[in-house]
Structure formats: C-alpha cells, structure tokens
C-alpha cells in the first residue's frame, strides 16, 4: 500500500508518520489515530491527511489495508540463515553441484587471467574472491564498478567470474557480454538459475536462499530498495572453487 507514487506526495510531517508506522509495524493496529499522532508529535490532522494520501477513507480502513499488507509481506519460505545452513549441508550430497564446481576449478586452472566482477555487496564478494583465489596461488583481479573500462584485446586466455544475487544486473550483464565477445570464458554465481546472466554464461553456478530486502527513504523522498540477501553461499562456492583449484595444482606438481 505504501507505493513510491504515494510516498512522493507526503510532506515532512507526513513522512514522520510514515516512518513511525514502519518502526511500529503491527503495533499500529492497536492504536487510535490520536495515539499515533501523539507518538509522532504531530496533529491528528496530519495523520488524517497521511491516511487520505494512502487512498483510505478513514483510520479504520487504513488499519484494515495495513494489516493486509503485513500479511502479504509474510513469507512461508525458510529463514535465510536456515536456508544457508541447509544449502551448505546438502552441498556434498549434490553430485551435480560438485561437478559444476570441479569444472569451474578446471577452467580457472587453465586460464592465464582470472577476473571477479560484482556490484554492491557482490562487489565485496568479488574482492574477497580475488584475494582468496590469489592466496591459493592463482593470481586474480577484481572490479566492483560497472564503469571500469575493458581493454579491447584478446581475452581468450581469461576466465571472468560474475557475481550477482538477482542475476539481472544490467551493468554486469553488459560487461560479461563484452568479455565474451573478446573471447573470455564466463562463470556466473547467482541466487537461482532463471536470470539474464545465464544467457552469457559458459558455466552458471546457482544457490537458492530467500531474498531479503528493505526500503529506506533517500534524497528527495525517493524510496530506495536495499538488498540484504545473505552472501554466505557465494563465499562457500568461491572457497570451494579455490580449494579444488589448489588440489588440481598440487596433483600436477
């Protein structure tokens, strides 16, 4: 019910009401309109105007719709922590997943250059992946910005590992497509297999955990979506590839 368009119409006092409602969550359902006004340090008129801007005819209707929105946001999926633990525990029993990791490690071992790419929290994972793989004896690079220039040269000796929770990051998709045009092999690690990055990936690796996100109010009353989905499975896959690479290297010595 709290759409971007409606939030954009709120003045400063009404935004106070909005933010206070988000902080109270279901407790608002037991409050009278005057109690909420006092809690927000605004007049009842301000709360009433807020309610009207949320397309409700009164406080009772607002609470009914707000209760419905709370129920809609509930998820029957397992908690992220539980899903992560379940994924890691089942990894060694998943023959297909292990084979994919082995293939990725073989690609890395044959490559002259390895590059990790990601944005946001995936950019942090890209840096971690580069450092971890380098510590295993395979020098690698990383970039955490979609604007870093790609040298227009032959990359047939390179493996590029793209990291994205959604798998639909436009900037990353363009960069991976460009690397592929220049001859690089592409490995992707994403939350789920149905995404755009798979279309340019030579070896898609996927995990499955619940998506987690929340919203904050940014400049000019813009509603900003913050993705907080756990990166633990990504770290686990990166480390598994690096450790398998080290095993392959030792076997060749």
- What is the DSSP annotation of 226-240? EE----HHHHHHHHH
Cα–Cα distance between 111 and 184 in angstroms, integer? 9
pLDDT at position 75 is 45
> Which residues are CB-neighbours of 183 under 8 A, at least 6 positions away?
154, 155, 156, 157, 158
Is residue 80's pLDDT more than 70?
A: no
The stretch 32-50 carries a mean pLDDT of 93
pLDDT at position 189 is 96
Greatest C-alpha distance within the chain: 78
Please give the residue that has the higher pLDDT: either 91 or 243: 243
Three-class SS of residue 207? strand
Tokens of 234: 């990504």
- Determine which of 25-29, 43-47, 224-228 has the lowest per-residue pLDDT on average: 224-228
Three-class SS of residue 85? helix
**pLDDT tier, 120 (very low <50, low <70, confident <90, very high otherwise):** confident
Cα–Cα distance between 183 and 180 in angstroms, integer? 5
Buried-state track 228-247, b at ≥16 Cβ within 10 A, e below 16? ebbbbbbebbbebbbebbbe
**pLDDT tier, 69 (very low <50, low <70, confident <90, very high otherwise):** confident
With residues binned 3-state (H G I as helix, E B as strand, rest as coil), the percentages for the chain, rounded to 5, are 55, 15, 30
- For residues 46 and 21, the answer to whether their CB atoms sit within 8 Å is no
- Determine which of 72-81, 95-104, 117-126, 240-249 has the lowest per-residue pLDDT on average: 72-81
pLDDT, mean over the chain: 86
> Which residues are CB-neighbours of 207 under 8 A, at least 6 positions away?
87, 189, 191, 233, 234, 237
Assessment of whether the complete model's pTM goes beyond 0.85: no
- Residues facing residue 191 across a β-bridge: 207
List the Cα angle 238/240/244 in 5-degree steps.
120
Tokens of 153: 């040269």
């Amino acid at each position: 019910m709290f759409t971007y368009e409606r939030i954009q119409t709120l003045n400063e006092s009404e935004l106070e009401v909005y933010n206070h409602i988000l902080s109270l969550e279901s407790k608002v359902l037991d409050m009278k309109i005057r109690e909420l006004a006092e809690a927000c340090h605004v007049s009842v008129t301000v709360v009433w105007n807020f309610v009207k801007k949320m397309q409700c005819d009164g406080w009772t209707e607002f609470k009914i719709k707000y209760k419905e929105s709370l129920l809609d946001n509930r998820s029957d999926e397992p908690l992220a922590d539980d899903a992560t633990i379940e994924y890691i525990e089942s990894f060694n029993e998943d023959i297909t997943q292990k084979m994919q990791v082995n293939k990725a490690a073989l690609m890395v071992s044959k490559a002259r250059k390895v590059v990790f790419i990601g944005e946001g929290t995936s950019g942090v994972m890209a840096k971690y992946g580069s450092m971890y793989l380098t510590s295993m004896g395979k020098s690698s690079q990383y970039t955490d910005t979609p604007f870093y220039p790609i040298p227009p040269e032959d990359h047939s000796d390179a493996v590029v590992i793209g990291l994205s929770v959604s798998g639909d990051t436009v900037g990353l998709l363009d960069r991976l497509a460009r690397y592929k045009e220049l001859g690089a092999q592409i490995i992707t690690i994403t939350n789920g297999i149905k995404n755009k990055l798979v279309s340019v990936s030579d070896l898609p690796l996927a995990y499955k955990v619940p998506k987690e996100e929340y919203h904050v109010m940014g400049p000019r009353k813009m509603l900003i979506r913050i993705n907080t989905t756990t990166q633990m499975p990504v770290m686990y896959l990166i480390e598994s590839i690096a450790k398998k690479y080290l095993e392959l290297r030792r076997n060749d010595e």
